[in-house]
A and B are shown apart, each in its own frame.
Chain A
């Protein structure tokens, strides 16, 4: 197990280093002068030159890369060009929105997906299965931002139960903050749940057709135990894979939902930073997302090993 883990960690580290080089180079090539964007159309050349100097944009590229990487290693992600505050603080504020939102959405989608998937698999071919999977098919097809707008008009404009968007901050109290995240979490979770439910169902069905299930049933084991104990555990590997992918998506790919609910999350931060050419923020956020995806993958790998003991000793 230790060797398995060490190998996964080493791969993760290499991924991070390669990613940092790629991210930095790509953003260097992108056209656009952050100083010009800040000072606008009336800027005088000397004011521009002063600002470029202040921002450290005149130093050689390799030096800036090394500065950046060595800074990150000790937790210093640099200072935002547009917001004049440290990148790590900006990210910190946004993670407090994005991470709870991603976790809420993930829990919601997993609970729904596993119950629906198992329910449908156990009733394969019966009307309940057809109906549930039909609904899931619609869920996969619905764009989440459109679904989000429906939720807003129903619960915020018409019923006025929750705010139409925005995030009051955790300082305003736990309940108002959670309340602001409920609709976005539901909007994010349902399409994900639909996908996951389909995966769960087909993985379950595959396992249910295996010989050992028939053997277990044949020796008189109750149907429920076979389903939950033998089948589910073996069906979890593909489910975990999708779950890992979904968590990465929920953390990084929620920009559209963040826009619809005007939530100050990571997606908005990076989108805004790109349009402002606030490259140091883009680089910082992208690296954080790469790191979190690497971490999630490691966790998923560990999850595989827990579910399937054979993986722990292989190679």
Chain B
């Protein structure tokens, strides 16, 4: 009996080693365009940080899934009180941080209190403003009480800015991120690459990769040979430009055109003459031919939008027909507004191709109806300073990449300077509504208001052009939140 066992054991061992030889590869190099300034998602708005650490290294109570849905993460379940103000989160047990220390309710309290503290430099502090108190019930239970009901609270807790950190390591996360995710931080060669390794003690389903490297390749001319030579096996957001067609026809690669949360706008300074006149803004809306703009935006991809909402979202309404392309009508509206001969204005364009190249198309379309635009290229820093901070602009083209951010139209003193009490009212109601069906209705109303007011020229949803090795499975096709979630990525056998 003993011999038989050992023979079986030996055969099993042989089989095991045999399969190991033929097993799929377990390493991956992902190309990213921008290098993160540091690796702490709670201390910067830089998308480049979340694109490396979100869901891979750091996790929150909830998380946003590949189709934008809110799903449990470190909280395995939650209860919401009837008045919508008290959220009781049940935490997963046996979760440890990468430094070996245990994760429990105290860490949740610390993380949330840190993010909403007075001296916090969290870039999305508004996610936490609704929180009144955070209480530790027992090590596996946390009670969060809100000042008023907030329908988006669970979604907010799924942002990268709301991830859980440990008190002992929080301040060092910029250089040495310590989270609870399926990957551990390994090393960061500045200017070159960030490396992650599999977390052997992960509490959930183990990752399918042993090693993941995010390699920083800022130049399109460098990205393509890196892909073709096999040095890099995936570009979740490929700066491909004209070479995309060549890659698409190559069977070695998968090309997926997905959606991002980036509403690309011709932003209008609503507080400035002549743009404070709705007729002028309507005229601009009628003058825009979205299909032509998409064709000329540098990639040729993008879904036309008629309001500030992602077409991937279930609450989206297609409002592209509110002010259809109609140059004659645009001219008539300009005459009504007192500009029969049109006028001159400036168009400030930040560096991305969608703005610089799309801007040329927009300028030529507006010229057709008599609005002559002087194009002023600006750098990011100048854009933030002049346009965003000081409202020193007429028109600009910019993609708003934060997810679900229609509420910016309710902000006082925001850069496009829109002010409509009716819209603010809808947003206030929305904040206090938890019922999903009612929330969808409110989102629809909100979309219609800004579309009819022609607040901005709504152009197109920024595409996510993902290119990766055809053998690679599990990467996200869409980008509902700024992330490159590798937890389900593996190589085909």
Known pairs A31-B386, A47-B120, A165-B222; list 9 more (Cβ under 8 Å): A37-B381, A46-B118, A84-B174, A90-B190, A160-B229, A164-B222, A261-B222, A263-B191, A263-B192
Report B-chain residues with C-beta under 8 Å of the C-beta of A262.
Answer: 192, 215-219, 222, 226
Q: In the complex, which of the residues A54, A149, A269 contacts B191, with contact meaning CB atoms closer than 8 Å?
A: A269
Could you give 29 example pairs across A and B, Cβ below 8 Å?
A32-B382, A32-B384, A33-B381, A33-B385, A38-B37, A38-B45, A38-B46, A39-B121, A40-B46, A41-B388, A43-B45, A47-B120, A50-B120, A83-B190, A85-B175, A90-B190, A145-B221, A160-B230, A165-B222, A165-B231, A166-B215, A259-B219, A259-B222, A262-B226, A268-B191, A272-B191, A275-B381, A276-B37, A276-B381
What 0/1 pattern do residues 360 to 380 of B give for CB contact below 8 A with A? 000000000000000000011
In the bound complex, CA of A272 to CA of B38 (Å)? 13
* Contact across chains for B123 and A169 when beta carbons are under 8 A apart: no
Give Cα distance in the complex from A36 to B125, angstroms: 14
B229 touches A167 (CB 8 A): no
Closest to B415 in A: A41
Q: Which of A31, A36, A42, A275 contacts B124 (CB 8 A)?
A: A42
Q: Tell me the chain A residues, 84-99 only, with Cβ under 8 Å from chain B.
A: 84-85, 90, 93-94
- Which of B174, B222, B379, B380 gathers most chain A CB within 10 Å? B222
A31–B190 touching, CB < 8 Å: no
What string of 1s and 0s marks CB contacts (under 8 Å) between A253-297 and chain B? 000000111111100110010011100000000000000000000
Chain B neighbourhood of A82, CB < 8 A: 37-38
Q: Is A11's CB within 8 Å of the partner chain B? A: no
| Interchain CA distance A265-B44 in the complex, whole Å | 24
Number of interface residues of A (CB under 8 A): 51
Q: Is B190 a contact partner of A93 (Cβ separation < 8 A)?
A: yes
Q: Would you call A47 and B37 a contact (CB within 8 A)?
A: no
Interface contact A166-B231, CB-CB below 8 Å: yes
- Contact indicator per residue, chain A 237-254, by CB within 8 Å of chain B (1) or not (0): 000000000000000000
Question: In the assembly, what is the distance between CA of A261 and CA of B226, in Å?
Answer: 9
The residues of B with any CB-CB pair to A shorter than 8 Å are 35, 37-38, 44-46, 118-126, 174-175, 189-193, 215-219, 221-222, 225-226, 228-231, 379-382, 384-386, 388-389, 400, 402, 405
Q: What is the CA–CA distance of A44 and B413 in the complex, to the nearest angstrom?
A: 12
Set of chain B residues within 8 Å of A265, measured between Cβ atoms: 191
Q: Give A78 Cβ to nearest chain B Cβ, in Å.
A: 16
Contacting pair A50 B119 (CB below 8 A):
yes
How many inter-chain residue pairs (CB < 8 Å) link A and B? 149
Chain B, interface SS category = loop
Closest 10 CB pairs of A and B: A40-B45, A264-B191, A32-B381, A82-B37, A264-B192, A164-B229, A259-B219, A164-B225, A39-B123, A156-B229
Contacts of B218 in A (CB 8 A): 259, 262, 268
Chain B residues near A153 (CB, 8 Å)? 225
A27 → B minimal CB distance (Å)? 12
Is the pair B126, A44 in contact by a Cβ cutoff of 8 Å?
yes
Q: Which residues of B contact A31 (CB under 8 A)?
A: 381-382, 385-386
- Residues facing B in A134-155 (CB within 8 A) are 145, 149, 152-153
Q: Is the CB of B121 within 8 A of A54?
A: yes
CB-nearest residue of chain A relative to B381? Answer: A32
Chain A positions 183 through 218: 1 when the CB is less than 8 Å from some CB of chain B, otherwise 0: 000000000000000000000000000000000000
